[in-house]
Structure 1
Amino acid sequence: MMHRAREMPFDVTSGRDIFVPALGGLIALAVGIGIGRFVYTPILPVMAAGLGLSKFSIGLIASANFAGYLVGALLASRTSLPGTRRLWLLIGLGGSAATTAAMGLVQSMWAFVALRFLGGIASALVLVFTSALLLDFMAHRGRAGFSAILFAGVGAGIAVSAVLVSSLRATGQSWQTLWLASGLLSVVGAFAAGQMIPTRTAVPVSETAECAPPPGRPLLGLVLAYGFFGFGYVITATFLVAIVRGNPAIRELEPLVWVIFGLSAAPSVALWNWLATRLTIPGAFALAALVEAVGVLASVGWSTTTGVFAASVCVGGTFMGLTALGLMRGRELARGNARQVLGLMTSAFGVGQILGPSFAGLVFDRTGSFIVPSIVAAIALAVAAALVLIQRRPSS
């Protein structure tokens, strides 16, 4: 077994040595996930209208991103990966910004698929290496609560990019401009994150590798639950704006829906972390999955202003909470190299995400509705909740 290298401490011992890297992690996740993965949703209706894309084509482009996410997660879980965790984080940030901007420079369906695939790889690298680097760093200093700052980045990125896209759309800008502007915002964020996550936090990836123990039943149950969660949330997260745009009764709410989604996500990790201290992490995960299922059903079954906002809050306010709770629970159960477990969980999550958009797009093209896919997604979330509770053990 290889000995685990210790992270080098920061030069300062005040709260700044935690807050600044946490803020850098927030910005990193805003770039790699909030913008890199989710800006597709508010741009999607304009892009589809401009290019005449079918729902299946839209779902295929989204699934390509999630397939790349799976590949990136598998890459990140390799114990023989050369370089430092921070280096791979920076590679992910740069790749996310570049592929986001490049979406505004092409018009071929297969170019979109290729770029979103590469962008998915970059997003996974950002999530896995930001989480592995900073969650360990915070835990070793007894500041695990700062993870709420870290994971708030996804919601912040969604909200900021939604405002940017809505503002540009209001001035009549093309879908190409929306992508280019989002890419420029990502470049600025990537540079800021790189400055705030110091080089001295990094050690060679290979030096942190340990022989991972065989996964126990609770960990296997968690991995499966994480996969069902990936499928359960992604259909609404991909098509929510398109659902609103396609309904004349609520179409005027389209510019607001994704902003509310992002604003709900930003504080959600802190809320679900607080609930986890009272319900345990598995209990909070199960509750969040059921709340999200309600939001998924509301998106297609409650076509009013209240219903749309409820869907945005329930799904936006839980998906990052579930992500954070799952990763924290995985780290608890790892008993070895946390990065390998986080990579395994992210892989399962990626499989669910790949299946969701293509399945929903195919069903929509045949039925003209997202009702059936959303019902299946809600069932998947209920299964995720059950799996975590069945395998529940007291948190260490």
Structure 2
Amino acid sequence: MFSSKIKLSLFLCLSMCLGIGILRFSYTALLPSTREAFGWSPSFASLLGSANLLGYLIGAFWAMKLPQNKSMASYIQISAIAGTLSLASCAWGGLPEFWYVIWRIISGISGGLLMILSPSVVAQCCQLQDRFKINFVGFSGIGLGVLMATLFLPYIKQISTQYAWLILFSFATVICIILSLLLKEFKQHFTAQAPIASNEQKLGGIFYCLLVVYSASAFAYVPHSLFWIDYLSHTLQLSPFGINSNWILYGVGSALGAFSAYTLAQKFGNITTLKILYSVYVIAIFVAIFNFSPLFTFISSFLTGLLNPAVVFLTSYSILQIYGSAYKKLWSIATLCFATVQLVGGLSFSFLQSIGANYSQQFILAATVLLIGTIQLFWFTRQEQATPSSQAQ
């Protein structure tokens, strides 16, 4: 049946796996070997990272403008196909630089569209009582995609960078086929009115609190999402085993992120859980400066991997639960703000590197920005009670 929890969960899981886990994070994981194999300069590699962030911003803005009707199915399919092709485009070296820039932008656009449109499809098709579990399983796909992108790292010398990209392309192709089959069942229901929660509220302070701290996390996450491998390999000069161990921990953490948020939210409610997650997030970024022991980089890798999908899932679900039918618009705004701040953060940290700022200073700046966002969340929700709108159901 089209509305079965399994099919909706699978659809959202695969969309997040492809759009965020693979299209966004595979480049970060494979960057060192790709840069070495293709002879890219550090500045060009950084440019490609910014190109992907720009594409994500474009995709988020585009998705916000799209109507919530049958056309969403076509955009999701096209995004999945274009994103999949972008993986294959990175498999060959020696091509003009603009080739890679264009495809990294396309990859970002695909990720932005999938990030907004796929959860909107689920919100429109699923039963109210099934929302929490379906979103939990679905957003676990982010961690699954990150884990897939890290599986090759211990064997990258044996299989070569080109084959690693082509293997990811093959995985993405299978995901595209499954998404297309599932979308055929959902398409006819896109014009129906989405279920509206009985506790739906007018836009208020809680949304802006979530928006501020979610945007702060976008800025704070940039050093880990773009420069973590470079920090481990060039600044700390870790062995390939040490670098691979950190990335595998990052992937395992990502796979557990949504589950951790789901478990905590069942016990403490959404808002309280977000306070806990963001507080730990600040610590996870800050401990990266303690480079005198591998233990601290392991902790930072695992926790930042875990917390990114955790806060994305729970922020998205909180907006859905509190604001009901306004979800697509508000989640588009949140994703657009996230993408904008992340792009600004990418450019800012690249500038700091160009003027000689070291990675410890960048981690401190990132943790400080997220701390400010977390403090405002605590302050403006200090009177928040355990009501149906703030509890996981």
Classify the TM-score, shorter chain.
Answer: 0.7 to 0.9
- The answer as to whether partners of 1:282 and 1:389 remain within 8 angstroms in 2 is no
**2:267 aligned residue:** 278
C-alpha distance in 2 between matches for 1:278 and 1:228: 26
Aligned-partner residue type, residue 360 of structure 1? F
Structure 1 residues 309 and 140, CA, compared in 2 at 3 Å: closer, same or farther?
A: same
**2:180 aligned residue:** 194
C-alpha distance in 2 between matches for 1:11 and 1:89: 17
Cα deviation 1:93-150 (Å, max 9, x = unaligned): 1121011211224633332222111111100111112211224444524352232211
C-alpha distance in 2 between matches for 1:91 and 1:141: 31
Structure 1 residue 65 displacement after superposition: 1.0
Of 316, 334, 345, which residue of structure 2 is paired with 1:345? Answer: 334
Range 219-228 or range 316-325, more displaced: 219-228
Identity %: 17
C-alpha distance in 1 between matches for 2:372 and 2:97: 35
Aligned-partner residue type, residue 97 of structure 2? M
**1:236 aligned residue:** 224
Structure 1 residue 184 displacement after superposition: 2.3
**1:158 aligned residue:** 146
Asked if residue 309 in structure 1 is aligned to residue 289 in structure 2, the reply is no
Of 6, 15, 20, which residue of structure 2 is paired with 1:33? Answer: 20
Residue aligned with 2:151, SS? helix
Aligned-partner residue type, residue 92 of structure 1? S
C-alpha distance in 1 between matches for 2:192 and 2:103: 29
After TM superposition, list the pairs within 5 Å mapping 1:153-302 onto structure 2: 153-167=141-155, 169-171=156-158, 173=160, 175-200=161-186, 202-204=188-190, 215-246=203-234, 247-249=236-238, 251-302=240-291
**1:76 aligned residue:** 63
C-alpha distance in 2 between matches for 1:200 and 1:333: 24
**2:120 aligned residue:** 132
Of 97, 101, 116, which residue of structure 2 is paired with 1:113? Answer: 101
Supply the RMSD in Å over aligned alpha carbons.
2.7
Of 374, 384, 390, which residue of structure 1 is paired with 2:363? Answer: 374
Of 51, 58, 66, which residue of structure 1 is paired with 2:45? Answer: 58
Structure 1 residues 97 and 48, CA, compared in 2 at 3 Å: closer, same or farther?
A: same
Aligned residues between the structures: 380
Aligned-partner residue type, residue 242 of structure 1? D
Gaps of 5+ in 2: none
- The answer as to whether partners of 2:123 and 2:194 remain within 8 angstroms in 1 is no
Aligned-partner residue type, residue 294 of structure 1? I
The TM-score normalised by the length of structure 1 is: 0.86
C-alpha distance in 1 between matches for 2:357 and 2:28: 19
Range 147-156 or range 331-340, more displaced: 331-340
Structure 1 residues 367 and 270, CA, compared in 2 at 3 Å: closer, same or farther?
A: same
C-alpha distance in 1 between matches for 2:193 and 2:322: 21
- The answer as to whether partners of 1:148 and 1:269 remain within 8 angstroms in 2 is yes
- The answer as to whether partners of 1:68 and 1:121 remain within 8 angstroms in 2 is yes
C-alpha distance in 1 between matches for 2:21 and 2:43: 23
Range 49-58 or range 60-69, more displaced: 49-58
**1:357 aligned residue:** 346
C-alpha distance in 1 between matches for 2:192 and 2:342: 29
Aligned-partner residue type, residue 347 of structure 1? L
- The answer as to whether partners of 1:100 and 1:182 remain within 8 angstroms in 2 is yes
Cα deviation 1:319-361 (Å, max 9, x = unaligned): 0000011111222343542111110000011012212233223
Structure 1 residue 308 displacement after superposition: 1.8
- The answer as to whether partners of 1:60 and 1:357 remain within 8 angstroms in 2 is no
C-alpha distance in 2 between matches for 1:11 and 1:100: 31
Structure 1 residues 367 and 216, CA, compared in 2 at 3 Å: closer, same or farther?
A: same
Asked if residue 23 in structure 1 is aligned to residue 10 in structure 2, the reply is yes
- The answer as to whether partners of 2:201 and 2:322 remain within 8 angstroms in 1 is no
Range 88-97 or range 384-393, more displaced: 384-393
- The answer as to whether partners of 1:159 and 1:259 remain within 8 angstroms in 2 is yes
Structure 1 residues 86 and 158, CA, compared in 2 at 3 Å: closer, same or farther?
A: same
Of 370, 383, 386, which residue of structure 1 is paired with 2:375? Answer: 386
Aligned-partner residue type, residue 74 of structure 1? F
Of 307, 314, 328, which residue of structure 2 is paired with 1:318? Answer: 307
